[in-house]
Amino acid sequence: INPYPSGIFFNKNQQSFLNYIAAGYNSGAFGFDNAVGRLVSNGASANLPGAVDSLNGANGAAYTIQQQAVVMTSNSMLGNALSCPSANLNGQAFDKSECAWANINGSQLNQASLTSNPGFKINYNTYATGGQGRLTPDTYVGGAMRFGKLNAFSKSLGASASVFDASIGIKKIIGSYYIGLSGGFGISSQSNNRYSSDFLTGQSYNQYSMSNLYFGGLRLRNAYQFDGPLNSYIKPYLDLDTL
């Protein structure tokens, strides 16, 4: 079958779903003849893009919102293992000390809706703690743990997640220069509610699922500290990450 009638515009998500339906139908896979029958019925023909969205769960792109947010913020764990937020006093290099620390962070991310994107809002709060100890006079090891709660919303999805990660790091300080290496691993446990409506009957559905996301990464950091007056400093650094 040809999934694209002439004169009708489909966004990328709708095109992907139509390709999926056509491939399944052409291969004779079970259940695809029913989907094709619904798409060519009189009611669906009047608004074929709307009928596609109905079968596609009101926009499948929403389902990946939460996973994207977790991945985008997962590199924070790599920096936590290299952190020691101590004061720079008497010309001492920043981070050249032993410490224990804790912090709380909150963020919100909003994206406007487009024809191929449902739009969303994400609230993310994290609680982290860590420390650093001296291994040799100029070598330090650090570790950190982070726990977070994430909530994502769109017109077709409501989801929440609990996120936990742990990381370790080691750094060598040579005067005002240091090089560091850190690694971490985490897991996100997610509860998902997808909302859709049957195009032909108008009946609404709530599809519930659970999923886990696992992530890990490594960071190589190069940094140099320029001391300024009144215990001030400028510290540029270059991070090379893999996630």
Greater model confidence, 193 or 169: 169
Q: Which two tokens stand for residue 47?
A: 């608004």
How far is CA 100 from each of CA 97, 137, 167, 171, 183, rounded to the nearest angstrom?
10, 18, 15, 16, 19
Q: Are 147 and 164 in contact (CB under 8 A)?
A: yes
Residue type, 172: K
Q: What is the pLDDT of residue 133?
A: 93
Q: What is the pLDDT of residue 61?
A: 58
Q: Is 237 helix (H, G, I), strand (E, B) or coil?
A: strand
Q: Are 41 and 52 in contact (CB under 8 A)?
A: no
How far is CA 70 from each of CA 42, 59, 65, 126, 180, rounded to the nearest angstrom?
42, 20, 9, 11, 24
Q: What is the pLDDT of residue 88?
A: 53
Mean pLDDT of the chain: 83
pLDDT above 90: residue 125: yes
Distance CA 11, CA 136 (A): 59
Q: Are 171 and 179 in contact (CB under 8 A)?
A: yes
Q: What is the pLDDT of residue 128?
A: 95
Distance CA 101, CA 119 (A): 36
Q: What is the pLDDT of residue 168?
A: 97
Q: Are 11 and 116 in contact (CB under 8 A)?
A: yes
DSSP label at residue 114: B
3-state SS string for 142-171: EEEEEEEEEEEEECCEEEEEEEEEEEEEEE
Q: What is the pLDDT of residue 220?
A: 97
pLDDT above 90: residue 96: no
pLDDT digits (tens, 9 = 90+) for 105-119: 998 888 887 766 667
pLDDT above 60: residue 94: no
pTM flag (> 0.85): no
Q: What is the pLDDT of residue 70?
A: 83
Q: Average pLDDT in the 1-24 region?
A: 82
Q: What is the pLDDT of residue 208?
A: 87
Alpha-helical runs (H) found in 2-97: 12-27, 32-39, 42-45, 48-55, 65-73, 76-80
High-pLDDT (> 70) share of the chain, %: 85
pLDDT digits (tens, 9 = 90+) for 60-72: 556 677 787 888 7
Confidence of residue 236 (pLDDT cuts 50, 70, 90): very high
Q: What is the pLDDT of residue 176?
A: 85
Find, among 232, 11, 223, the residue nearest to 114 by Cα: 11
Greater model confidence, 43 or 50: 50
